[in-house]
Chains A and B, each alone.
Chain A
Amino acid sequence: GQQLNQSPQSMFIQEGEDVSMNCTSSSIFNTWLWYKQDPGEGPVLLIALYKAGELTSNGRLTAQFGITRKDSFLNISASIPSDVGIYFCAGQRRSGGTSYGKLTFGQGTILTVHP
């Protein structure tokens, strides 16, 4: 099935540093989502993007919907220890038919923040 390529797979950074991660696809998505998963819990939605070129912020998080609709980026500014976790991108196509409700996730980026 369709896969999203998410990079980097892991990051080790110092507290206060900025973080960037991205997702790319070989085909177009109409919606891009970014989730964070803490250990032992389910993913929690951070940001949703619905239009090509859209730039959306949520506190220290900023995400962009690529203009080609085949990629998306997530940036975290001034990282803090509680940013630790796994970050996932996810894409959805808003086409008709039976694939309308399918959500495809990237492989995840494991973020470690050293105090």
Chain B
Amino acid sequence: EAQVTQNPRYLITVTGKKLTVTCSQNMNHEYMSWYRQDPGLGLRQIYYSMNVEVTDKGDVPEGYKVSRKEKRNFPLILESPSPNQTSLYFCASSLWGGDLNQPQHFGDGTRLSIL
């Protein structure tokens, strides 16, 4: 089954304790992206990657890191989480043929609470 898998689905942690949210897709997609969703703000793009070893900032990259060492994985790293990073996070992937004519497939989300 084609899917985007995020782990964990839920996490409660404390300020300053490094954490990683994993994202894996089994569709051989070139493009992957991370978003955060907050009430009244919709989804905001954190980072995206157009292929292995190619990453770029979205609209809200501060406080986050990503890596794309393999095509299927795109982990989101919070080196020193803070309460304002409490949010619902989505990973997404799509084929990339030079335009965005392929739909982005979203994971089921990761709800992070930073105390």
Query: Is the pair B100, A92 in contact by a Cβ cutoff of 8 Å?
Result: yes
Q: Which residues of B contact A82 (CB under 8 A)?
A: none
A77 CA to B111 CA, complexed, in Å:
33
Using a CB-CB cutoff of 8 Å, which residues 80-107 of chain B contact chain A? 90, 92, 96, 99-101, 103-104, 106-107
Using a CB-CB cutoff of 8 Å, which residues 70-115 of chain A contact chain B? 88, 90, 92, 94, 98-108
Q: Which residues of A contact B33 (CB under 8 A)?
A: 101, 103
B89 to chain A, nearest CB (A): 10
**Interface residues of A, dominant DSSP:** loop
A11 interface residue per 8 A CB criterion:
no
Query: Is the pair A108, B42 in contact by a Cβ cutoff of 8 Å?
Result: yes
On A, residues with C-beta under 8 Å from B are 1-2, 4, 6, 9, 31, 33, 40-45, 48, 50, 88, 90, 92, 94, 98-108
A105 CA to B56 CA, complexed, in Å:
17
Q: Which residues of B contact A90 (CB under 8 A)?
A: 43
On B, residues with C-beta under 8 Å from A are 4, 31, 33, 35, 40-45, 48-50, 56-60, 90, 92, 96, 99-101, 103-104, 106-109
A7 to chain B, nearest CB (A): 12
Query: Is the pair A88, B59 in contact by a Cβ cutoff of 8 Å?
Result: no
Query: Is the pair B108, A101 in contact by a Cβ cutoff of 8 Å?
Result: no
Q: Which residues of A contact B31 (CB under 8 A)?
A: 101
A105 to chain B, nearest CB (A): 4
Assuming the A-B contacts A103-B45, A108-B42, are A31 and B108 also in contact, with contact meaning beta carbons closer than 8 angstroms in the complex? Answer: no
